Amino acid sequence: YKGKLEKYSRTLLYTKTGAIFLFDEVKSKSPEGHVYDWLFHAPANEENQTSISYADGRVMINRPKARLTMDIISPDIVSSKIYDKGVGKIFYESFLSLSSKPDLNEANFLAVILPEAKPGSGDYGAAPKTTRLDAPGWIGAKMDHNLGSDIGFFRVGTENGVAGGFTTDAKRFTASFDKSGVLQKIYFEGGSISEKGLSISADQSVRGTMAIDPSGYDAEIKSAKGCNLKVLVSGKPSSVQVSGQVVNDWTYDEGSKTLTVKLPGGTIPLKIIK
């Protein structure tokens, strides 16, 4: 970038079996405005034809046994160009260049990506639908697809509050829902996250994932030096497992319906069985 950038940061958040959220934060060193370009590439298909296309904020890559949909949420794309690399009429690779409007000092690039394997029989299901979600201090998006829906939020301000129905101090988080809208799993980077029926908090910032099913909670918590973790549980658990081992040094408060457990440092699997 020839020393022109003050900041460039890329984050990828993957929801297992669902969407991938791609978030770039880019800021120029100089006060003058710029055009920001993003370049994506894909191999040619079996007929040596362009496999990538773009229209109305949606990028499509079509391969013989798979497809990838990428919806651009931010910034506004004002121009696009597809070109191919190869010899003669044989393409090795297709490239897509997307450009922002001019006179920007900084830009946040948010896209939602869904890779899909082609079914063994029949064709793909309905195309995914992506919606932009905004909240004070946050930028986010929701993708509805054949297996359910995923939301992803990235903090762009200093406000703590509600984003997508979740109250959190996290830098970023995702949540996945089944087709009926029931929460299935979350990922967050922060000290706490909660919504109706769910509450997780730690005495320091952590990286946490939690899958929810009728039998309980299956989580993984990463902290630097260990943490005290509190989890809302509707009734006293029958068992708590840390790193695959049943432990007894936990407490449960009936009044607040809160489980408290101390976890060591590192990436620790935690299982709470109702």
Burial class (CB in 10 A: 0-12, 13-18, 19+), 55: exposed
- Report the C-alpha gap between 39 and 59 in whole angstroms: 12
Q: What is the pLDDT of residue 161?
A: 77
Q: What is the pLDDT of residue 4?
A: 80
Q: What is the pLDDT of residue 182?
A: 95
Q: Which residues of 101-111 are buried (b: 16+ CB within 10 A; e: fewer)?
A: eeebeebbbbb
Q: Which residues of the chain have pLDDT under 50?
A: none
CA angle 264, 265, 269 (to 5 degrees): 70
Q: What is the pLDDT of residue 48?
A: 65
- Report the C-alpha gap between 209 and 221 in whole angstroms: 7
- Report the C-alpha gap between 87 and 90 in whole angstroms: 5
Question: What share of the chain in percent tops pLDDT 90?
Answer: 75
Q: What is the pLDDT of residue 89?
A: 64
Instruction: State the pTM of this model.
Output: 0.92
Q: What is the pLDDT of residue 94?
A: 83
Q: What is the pLDDT of residue 1?
A: 67
Q: What is the pLDDT of residue 83?
A: 83
Q: Number of C-alpha atoms within 13 angstroms, CB side, residue 232?
A: 11
Q: What is the pLDDT of residue 90?
A: 65
